Amino acid sequence: MRKTFWIHCGLLIGLSMGLCFPVLAQILRYDFGKSPLVNHPILTKHPTPANWQWTAAPSRTFRTTQGYYWQPPAWHDGVVAPRLAWQAALPVGIYELQLFLNTGLELTSTWRIYINGEEHPLNLHPTRNSPEPLEYPAKHVKIWRRTFVSDGNYTVALTGGADSIRLLAAHLFPVVKASSERARWLAGMLADYGSFRPHPIPLEPVLDNLKSALAHEPDNAYYFKHLQEAQWVDRAEEFIELRGWQWSTNLYEFTMIQKFEQAVMLLNPILQQPDHPLYERALWDAGRLLFHLDHEYHAPGDSLIAQNYFHIL
């Protein structure tokens, strides 16, 4: 599984030779943890042949202690620092950046994120913090995404607030549309399965078709993006169904409340994209989750947010 997080060698070689790419064709996957990639350039403090370098390097690595059953390996460990920043060459174009962060000692995040010097809002659901200070980092993972324009280079900076930045992984890929016949067919399938239904149809056919398409075109950013997001929705719905069954609590190392909190975090990237084919489905799922969370611990605003989601539908 770790090998899926290697940066494609073609881009590394091309940039080191000073070649100009009209558009980035590859999907870049960064694994920031201490792993078999420990000697990978991502984890060093020095410039790499790809012109990728830390400008504010991590102070140490960390490893999560729970949640391995359902999390991909790249989410098991990461790097920690009060501030993290890097820069790299990147062909001119429009890109999407996805950051995967451990929630650390605060469920309501106080991070600040900058791309090319511009601060971008977190737009993360304000999950309640623990009534008592946490002694160990929480096992939740938050996903933050944003599109941006590259003029030939890009910079990213993350600054912690009440807690340090705990960065697990990142994805970077060009923003593309469904251009082929197969992609347009899959777009229609996504729209069908993503439309509002009180009892959503299982996503397995969508996932199977996206996996098959990506296997044939592993650098297709459209397939990659929508497979990732469909998997997040599918996992969130699994957590809804598992609820508080003891066997699932033992297996996933999440209580019902923690499952529901994590499910909302998984849905958050889709909720920030009103034009996403799975948007209505994510609204319905998130509304149900927040309704139940409000009844459990009466977090400020959960009920109002849930009502707003239902109103949109």
- 143 residue type, one letter: I
Q: Are 102 and 70 in contact (CB under 8 A)?
A: no
Q: Could you give the CA distance from residue 180 to residue 223 in angstroms, rounded to a whole number? A: 11
Query: How many other C-beta atoms are found inside a 10 Å radius of the C-beta of residue 301?
Result: 13
Please give the angle made by the CA atoms of 91, 95 and 97, to the nearest 5 degrees.
120
Ramachandran assignment for 192, one of left (phi > 0), alpha (psi -120 to 50 degrees), beta (any other): alpha
pTM here is 0.85
Residue range 63-73, pLDDT digits in tens:
876 666 788 88
Q: Per-residue pLDDT tens for 90-144?
A: 899 999 999 999 988 887 888 999 999 999 998 887 666 666 677 777 788 999 9
Q: How far apart are CA 75 and CA 287, in angstroms?
A: 26
What does DSSP assign to residue 62? E
pLDDT tens profile 12-50: 323 222 333 345 667 888 888 764 433 333 433 333 435
Report the range of poorest mean pLDDT among 2-16, 87-101, 161-175, 296-310. 2-16
Q: DSSP class of residue 243? A: T
- Alpha-carbon distance of 175 to 17, in angstroms, equals 25
Residue 180 Cα distances to 122, 148, 173, 177, 185, angstroms: 33, 24, 18, 9, 9
**Euclidean distance between CA atoms 15 and 91, whole angstroms:** 10
